[in-house]
Structure 1
Amino acid sequence: DPTTLTLLEEVTTVESRQDVAMTLVKIYLGQGLVVPFLDYLNTREVHSTTDPNTLFRSNSLASKAMEQFMKAVGMLYLHEVLKPIINRIFEERKYVELDPCKIDLNRSRRISFKGSASEAEVRESSVGLLQTYLSSIMEAIVSSVSQCPPVMRVVFKQLHKRVEDQFPEPENEDVKYLAISGFFFLRLFAPAILTPKLFQLRDHHADTRTSRTLLLLAKALQSVGNLGLQLGHGKEQWMTPLHPIILCSVASVKDFLDKLIDIDHDAVCEAPQRAVFLPSVIVKEGFLQKHKSEGPQLLKRFAFKKRYFWLSSESLSYAKSPEWQVRSTILITHVCAVERVDENAFQLQNVMQVITQDTDGQLHTTYLQCKNVNELNQWLSAIRKVSIYNEHMLPSFHPGAHRGSKWTCCLQPDRTASGCSRTHSAVTLGDWSDPLDPDAETQIIYKELLQGRDKLRKQYLETQELEAAKQEEPLKTNQPSSVSAQGRSERARAIAARLLDVVLDLERAHSTFQSREPDESHPLILSS
């Protein structure tokens, strides 16, 4: 039956569906309703699939929503499971290759102490290394049931039941496992192994050698996720030496999935969430140049000291080095602005400021210099993300510095004068790790409906008379299917009409808001 979600899926393009899926997941997470939301999409997807081999293979809203859901609620779990082995692979940087066409004997001299290794020795060494890495990965995964977020386990449990009910035949016994492993292994763990930086497991992309190791491991893990059903049927027969360990992993994967969904749905409290970060998780870390403004003084270049910073959802702490035991801490709850600094303030590029307010209401500014503009943007966004829901955020700030008895930006002499520029709070809003921001997320859905309203109007309203004419003749023969089809068509038209009314109301509200003249009570009204 048609619903608002089905119509939204129809008007979105394939290119925008991932953003829409992520936005919807965050909206329902924020409302504490993500479990029934995903169950609705998954049930609809399962019921519309006749061939179990094609289940969730398309870029449907259900597939994309599940993928974004796992990233939003499961990324910290992914880090706990994979980060140790990923770090080990990066540090060891072993030469690994199985494809005879790609083996470079000159790059593998360290494998044999006798000189250049033979092709057989390279393959034997590579198989051993890959088996070791894959065993470590599988052991970490299958022993991680208790670490997996309960809400993810409940979603998988419901998915398992929907698939089992739809495909109960003995020959489809594995389909209920494949539905879960397809998301768990093929859309989360394997991509994270392939490109760790995109999942924030590493700060930089892998070099060529390490990247090849990760690719071969990702291929092997994909085969595990497919329960070994496609082994031997592909073109890459050189992967055959890994088939035994892959097949041995299948039984443990099924056992793991059985344990994963062994959870009481009612015991899981799906409370509304406001952010995806856990307090103990380090969101970002690295060296920065730091200076803390402490009253009137002449700020010089050498006033910036190199310090190592750690950012979590609770604090921004720093020390002389990563190993230094004594740390200074800035509480995130005290942050009231995070902004760029003009270059002429210190004659330095890529400087930002973190303005905090202490318990006495006094403002303090910490200046941080980043090594390049990309790092500056990353730190700005990261600190804004963890402080986005703080109370007492400042409406304005000084993009300059107070030097020579005046602000370099507005030339006001008073050090405590109100800021001369409007502050910013925007974060990426498109990344899995962005905080939940219902206002911004519903704006994205409004934009999609605005762009798709002509399609909605043409498909459901302008063709109303034509559809009625088509339904008239079958109705005379009293065919139940025609009556049912007409009912669905009428419901779809009613939903489309309601959506178009909502879009029109919102458009009028936007126009009214934009046409308002700024007054004393609204000095910072946005123009767009």
Structure 2
Amino acid sequence: MGPHVIKKTRFPHWDEVLELELGEGEPGEAVLSVEVWDWDIVGKNDFLGRVEFPLDTILTTPIKGWFQLLPFPSAAENLGGQLGALRLTVRLVEDRVLPPHYYQPLIQLLTEPILCPDQPPAGTALAILEEVTSGESRQDVATKLVKIFLGQGLAVPLLDYLTTRELARTTDPNTLFRSNSLASKSVEQFMKVVGLPYLHEVLKPVVNRIFEEKKYVELDPGKMELSRSRRISFKGSLSEARVRESSLELLQGYLGDIVDAIVGSVEKCPTLMRVAFKQLRRRVEERFPSAQHEEVRYFSISGFLFLRFFAPAVLTPKLFSLREQHADPRTARTLLLLAKALQSIGNLGLQLGQGKEPWMAPLHAVLLPSVTRVRAFLDGLVEVESAEEDQVPPALLPSSATIKEGYLHTRTAGGATLLPRLAFKKRYFWLSAEALTYSKSPEWQARCSIPVRRMRAVERVDEGTFQHPHVMQIVAQDGTGQLHTTYIQCKSAQELWQWLWALRQASSANEAMLPTCHPGTFRAGRWTCCLQPACSAPGCSRTHSTVALGEWSDPLDPAAAAQTLYGHLRRVGTRLRAAGAGGPQGSAETDPPGVGQAAHSCTSMHMHVHKDMHLVVHTCTCLRMHE
């Protein structure tokens, strides 16, 4: 398995996260080997080098930086130091997640200041967690807090608690929520968890068009490449003025479409987000009531919605699942200019003309009218009926909403007489909370589907089972109780993990999930994985309920989130004790009530411990080839 193919460059830039699942037990002498190959259509593929890491070393010390690519041992004398270098981050993560009820004491401790607001705020677990959380771990803590409180139906009160504390510390409204405090990061992660379908509905059409058109756009005279502009004209090289004029027209069109989509999306915005923003505006108006601070009530919301949500998604669509791959340099420059424009709109145009980029001035004529429309949009966004404020949707996604879609190759198990490679057919897939549906193309009306409620396992297939890698299987049960397996081939390891996560998230609440399954297929009268001769033989490999990607896009799992927060609290135990966090908050030597004791007792009872080991490789940020 590996990242996607990079073409026509000596300096490939992948910037992908690959996740490999390891078996239980000690790493021993196991080694992670990262290899780079130049794939050729004709002839032999060229080996470019490799880097190896012993897993027992990664377990104690995460690895990050540039590493010299090494040749095969037999070729070491010939190649010497002529190979390139690879920059990557490697870490080994071991998660032990106990049954949810063991985390109730910790969750009660965290929710106490929300449910019992009369206690002194300085001594609460939330206040202490906010104080001792460092910049490096703040985003992770914020994400896990949001997921725990979403599970408790208390996400809006959590944000209100944190933002109110932040407001109390703020004297200059111009700096409000500018820092990466726990309050700011929590609102940011809340928007990502709750508002991802909304973000896709608003931005995906125009982002897809930008990627497909690949227009050359540049306003900075110092970066214009006039010879490249021949690609947009048959009249030869254009002048700087013509390139600026063409770029300005394109940017105005893209930006106009983005702003139109945003300001027209009031009713599409999740109710939970609107309620949170309504409460935030109320608190800001209470803190800064004077007329001279009237803009703050708008800026407090636009600063989050535009500067921390819409603009970052336009800048790097892949990080928000808007695109499967990062943009090429030309498209990335267009996205950067649009993100800058959205930031100016999010700042309500207050800093227009004051920056270090005067070449952005031609866009001001478009930005200023947009600011007026955005103010009206923000007013409409917080107009939520009081009856709706207490409603917490049972699911973050509507059951009919498309969670993920795209082309894959599929085949069903059993009875195939063709070669495995020919048995896979290209189909377009849609996944919602209700079903996995597929057809020959997005426009094709005849469709097949697998109801999500009937899924019993979603697992990878061994690499050697078929004549191509990146295959997963969905085991589903029909109305008569019979199990049927569908095999699906993905284009890359990254895509495989994304689909595994999405399918497992959608089916996470299913009952009667299979504890085991076969990572191979039944062929020629036996299973390719364990060689058992009966088709109905029990599985030889355990199944998994989730994929631990470690980001805001993980499933809502309060137990896993609580385990992560518990780990943070243990690591800062000394600082907790120094802060006076004795008694129920725990100390450097004791665990939060119930959690530590449960962990120790259940670790010895393997039936109660869910253990997953994941090797997370932030692989191939870039490859630097030596001359």
TM-score by structure 2 length? 0.74
2:407 maps to 287
* Paired residues of 1:157 and 1:261 also in contact (CA < 8 A): yes
Matched, 1:399 2:399: no
Counterpart amino acid of residue 63 in structure 1: S
Task: Return closer, same or farther for 1:457/1:180 CA change in 2, 3 Å cut-off.
Answer: same
Q: 2:480 aligns with which of 353, 356, 360?
A: 360
* Aligned residues of 2:497 and 2:547 also touching (Cα < 8 A): no
- 1:313 paired with 2:433, answer yes
Residue equivalent to 2:599: 510
Shift in CA distance, 354/109, structure 1 to aligned 2, threshold 3 Å: same
Deviation string 1:340-390 (CA, Å, 9 cap, x unpaired) is 222343354222211111121111111222233222222222211111111
The question of whether the paired residues in 2 share the 8 Å contact of 1:98 and 1:126 is answered with: yes
The equivalent residue for 1:11 is 132
How far the C-alpha of 1:17 sits from its partner, in A, is 1.0
Superposed counterparts of 1:334-483, under 5 Å: 334-428=454-548, 430-460=550-580
Out of 63-72 and 8-17, give the one that drifted further: 8-17
1:245-256 aligned within 5 A: 245-256=366-377
SS of 2:412's equivalent? strand
Q: Quick check: 1:339–1:424 contact (8 Å CA) kept in 2?
A: yes
Q: Which residue of 1 aligns with 2:398?
A: 278
| Alpha carbons of structure 1 residues 147 and 498: separation in structure 2 relative to 1, 3 Å | same
Post-superposition offset of 1:93: 2.1
Q: Measure the CA separation in 2 of the matches of 1:428 and 1:302.
A: 33
Give unpaired runs (5+ residues) of structure 2.
Answer: 1-120, 614-627
Q: What is the CA–CA distance in structure 1 between the aligned matches of 2:136 and 2:320, rounded to whole Å? A: 21
8 A contact 1:297–1:403 mirrored in 2: no
Instruction: Show the 5 A alignment for 1:115-130.
Output: 115-130=236-251
- 1:322 and 2:442 are equivalent in the alignment: yes
Corresponding position of 1:464: none
Structure label with greater radius of gyration: 1
SS of equivalent residue, structure 1 residue 145: coil
Q: Which amino acid aligns with 2:598?
A: A
- Which letter does structure 1 place at the counterpart of 2:504? R
**Contact between 1:46 and 1:166, CA under 8 Å: does it hold in 2?**
yes
| C-alpha RMSD of the superposition | 2.3
| Letter paired with 2:379 | D
Question: In structure 1, what is the Cα distance between the partners aligned to 2:582 and 2:272?
Answer: 35
- SS of the residue corresponding to residue 572 of structure 2 reads helix
Deviations 1:77-116 (A, max 9, x none): 1122212222222222221111010111111125555432
Q: Whose strand fraction is larger, Structure 1's or Structure 2's?
A: 2
Does structure 2 retain, via aligned residues, the 8 Å contact 1:185–1:222?
A: yes
Tell me, in whole angstroms, the C-alpha distance in 1 between the residues paired with 2:317 and 2:296: 29
Q: 1:268 to 1:458 in 2, by over 3 A?
A: closer
> Of 186, 198, 221, which aligns to 1:77?
198
Contact preservation (8 Å) 2:159, 2:186 = yes
Structure 1 residues 92 and 371, CA gap change in structure 2 (3 angstroms): closer
1:270 CA displacement? 2.8
Which residue does 1:486 correspond to in 2? none
CA distance in 1, matches of 2:217, 2:179: 33
Match of 1:37? Answer: 158
Kept after mapping to 1: 8 A contact 2:570/2:588: no
Q: Is contact 1:153–1:263 with CA below 8 Å preserved after alignment?
A: yes
Between 1:260-269 and 1:95-104, the stretch displaced more is 260-269
- Asked whether the 8 Å contact 1:350–1:369 carries over to 2, the reply is yes
Q: Which residue of 1 aligns with 2:170?
A: 49
- In the other structure, the counterpart of 1:479 is none
Q: Helix, strand or coil: the match of 1:355?
A: strand
Q: For 2:143 and 2:524, how far apart are their aligned partners in 1?
A: 49
1:493: how far off?
Answer: 4.5
Deviations 1:412-459 (A, max 9, x none): 222112112111112235333332112211111111112122221233
Moved more, 306-315 or 434-443: 306-315
Query: Helix, strand or coil: the match of 1:354?
Result: strand
Q: CA deviation at 1:323?
A: 3.2
Match of 1:87 among 208, 211, 221: 208
Moved more, 283-292 or 145-154: 283-292
Q: Pick 1 or 2: higher relative contact order, CA cutoff 8 A, min separation 6.
A: 2
Q: CA deviation at 1:296?
A: 9.4
Correspondences of 1:84-233 after superposition (within 5 Å): 84-112=205-233, 114-233=235-354
How far is the alpha carbon of 1:228 from its aligned partner?
1.0
The worse-fitting range, judged by mean Cα deviation, of 203-212 and 232-241 is 203-212
User: In the aligned structure 1, how far is the partner of 2:361 from the partner of 2:601?
Assistant: 66
Gap runs ≥5 in structure 1: 461-491
Q: Secondary structure at the match of 2:443?
A: coil
